[in-house]
Copies of this chain bind each other. A is one copy, B any other.
Amino acid sequence: MSVDSKQINKLLGEHKIRPTKIRKAIAGLLFDGRDKHVSVDDVIALARARDVKTSVASVYNTLNQFAAAGLLRRIAVDGGRAFFDTNLSDHHHFYFEDEERLEDIPGNAIEISGLPKLPKGRQIKSVDVTIRL
């Protein structure tokens, strides 16, 4: 829960992201050891709640940079807003349609078999399973 500034610097450094003030602040909000699925608005609200002063554009910039660097995984589940997942392990999701909320499916429960042969010259980037509830 308490986020060590050293850890954050290390994390950003390892991903070749310059540890600026707002990047560290947003990283601190997100990487607290808990798995999260946040929208841009969630992050803006988190920032406000902790008196991190920033702009909407910077939140977009930062989340996009983190996703590009592999610090976050972007998930598109419905039209409208994107979610960013702090859980980078190979896993799948429940989507609660009425709450517009994602939740990790526990463990490595799901097995997918019978993957078809791929169109030639293609390779899998990811396999996404979403169970809508």
**A binding-site residues for B, Cβ under 8 Å:** 76-82, 94, 96-97, 103, 105-107, 109-116, 118-119, 122-133
Contacts and interface: CB of A to CB of B under 8 A. Distances in A.
The interface residues of chain A, by DSSP majority, are classed as loop
A43 B107 CA distance: 41
A103 to B, nearest CB: 8
Of A82, A111, A128, most B-chain CB atoms within 10 Å = A128
A131 B111 contact: no
Given A79-B76, A79-B82, A82-B79, A133 B109 contact: no
Contact of A110 (B94, B116, B124, B126): B116
Contacts of A118: 94, 131, 133
A126 B103 CA distance: 15
